[in-house]
Structure 1
């Protein structure tokens, strides 16, 4: 299978690759309980990006952002975090670099909750300066997977949690050699309200560095998650390609 990872391509290969769009994985480096690798968010989002590129013509896989905003996790070892403003600027600078190289169609594959707001701000700032930029994103694949799969796929919390049933399952499937399954735990906070967000520090929710029920994770669930997520992104990009990334309404009301 052809390689589309910019890190592994020569300048000559990039030039001959006829790339007209790019995908950027944005992750973190932080504890995910005792059982998953610290780079889980980066590893998963980058792997998904590569799998998407295998099925979409002209899609260049950019080097991943390996550190994001993780200040709310820094009680646990070995969390590395950037400031919010730094994350925004890093994403902005990468997007601007891609635009400067002639690609204005960019997909953002986010792997970490702390990056959601910085991604939104960076993308909006880019659109203000470069109106012709086309930016799409999967902001939280861990939620999307639960929405795409049958409701009985997960046993606890619809698979949610940091290092919980869903995230642990996908890492077991994609990177089994970097996991310590015997250390998986179940930590489900009892008093978080539905539909309302609590701005917590992670140490207020768990003493293990993970939430959700990682003991219910399986390779089979991870495989199902991977398939529906890759299919979802591939389908979205191909539909955008079919309309030349022109997502404007065809039945807009007349101006008053």
Structure 2
């Protein structure tokens, strides 16, 4: 079995691949969250998993673990909040404990290096806690492990941003369900995108603070925080090529 997906291997093949820390484990972490009426609920899972698989194919010494699909609570100013049916999130403690347990479970098999590829902005600091605790726990148990945490969008250069957004970039904060994610999904899963349903709206504007309970009136009714109308599969290819090459070059 030559699959880079860990779960598609039989246990003996997996054992032989990972013994003595022979592989890096790539762990995609995403969320189930609305991305507007034009797109499925799972881009935050499918995109990091796709990137992880392409990076692993280039490397030869990486395996891709099944993704963690449920992420931390969607926030109003970055994901539209938890007002929309389909957005299915967990609390920060739950995500932290889940990722922590998964890392240590793989460490018990002999794995020593992990790369967490995040696809949902809100996950970040809870994954930091999980990684930090797992490294400390492993050390106290006589094992040394290393955990890298990255978000794929941090590998997109300003030059590519200018190509993707020739009329100007409104910023990462309002890209939820916008051109970037929609373009990537048009490239990797066009069957999950219906551009006829895309809502062309100006970028959302928010006050410089948060309020609890969250105010639904802050969020456009479409759930997207900017317009996906200019998304294309070609733009998705530009973004993916750069992310995959950058991550493979750094950790391959």
Instruction: Compute the TM-score of the two structures, normalised by the length of structure 1.
Output: 0.84
Deviation string for 1:86-115 (max 9, x for gaps)? 000000001111111111100010000121
Could you tell me how far 1:223 is from its partner in structure 2?
A: 0.2
Deviation string for 1:51-109 (max 9, x for gaps)? 11101121011010011112532201111111110000000001111111111100010
1:213 equivalent to 2:227? Answer yes
- In structure 2, C-alpha distance between the alignment counterparts of 1:11 and 1:202, rounded to whole Å: 49
Deviation string for 1:119-165 (max 9, x for gaps)? 111111122223422111213x2354254625243144257511111
- Per the alignment, do residues 235 and 4 of structure 1 end up closer, same or farther by CA in structure 2, a change over 3 Å counting? same
Q: Which has the higher contact order (CA 8 A, sep 6+)?
A: 2
Gaps of 5+ in 2: 76-80
- What does residue 142 of structure 1 align with? 153
- SS of the residue aligned with 1:121? helix
Could you tell me how far 1:192 is from its partner in structure 2?
A: 5.4
- In structure 2, C-alpha distance between the alignment counterparts of 1:142 and 1:164, rounded to whole Å: 14
Note if contact 2:164-2:235 (Cα within 8 Å) is conserved in structure 1: yes
1:30 equivalent to 2:36? Answer no
Could you tell me how far 1:25 is from its partner in structure 2?
A: 0.2
CA RMSD of aligned residues (A): 2.1
Alignment size in residue pairs? 233
1:45 equivalent to 2:48? Answer yes
Equivalences for residues 83-232 of structure 1 within 5 A: 83-131=91-139, 132-139=144-151, 141-147=152-158, 149=160, 151-154=162-165, 155=167, 156-157=169-170, 161-185=175-199, 186-191=201-206, 198-199=209-210, 201=214, 203=216, 204-232=218-246
Note if contact 1:168-1:217 (Cα within 8 Å) is conserved in structure 2: yes
Gaps of 5+ in 1: 239-256
Could you tell me how far 1:181 is from its partner in structure 2?
A: 0.9
- In structure 1, C-alpha distance between the alignment counterparts of 2:138 and 2:176, rounded to whole Å: 35
- In structure 2, C-alpha distance between the alignment counterparts of 1:81 and 1:206, rounded to whole Å: 20
Note if contact 2:25-2:113 (Cα within 8 Å) is conserved in structure 1: yes
- Per the alignment, do residues 187 and 78 of structure 1 end up closer, same or farther by CA in structure 2, a change over 3 Å counting? farther
- SS of the residue aligned with 1:157? coil
- In structure 2, C-alpha distance between the alignment counterparts of 1:111 and 1:60, rounded to whole Å: 18
Instruction: Compute the TM-score of the two structures, normalised by the length of structure 2.
Output: 0.85
- Per the alignment, do residues 35 and 125 of structure 1 end up closer, same or farther by CA in structure 2, a change over 3 Å counting? same
- What does residue 56 of structure 1 align with? 59
Note if contact 2:17-2:23 (Cα within 8 Å) is conserved in structure 1: no
Tell which deviates more after alignment, 123-132 or 87-96: 123-132
Deviation string for 1:171-229 (max 9, x for gaps)? 11110011111111234123556xxxx44658323221111220011111100011000
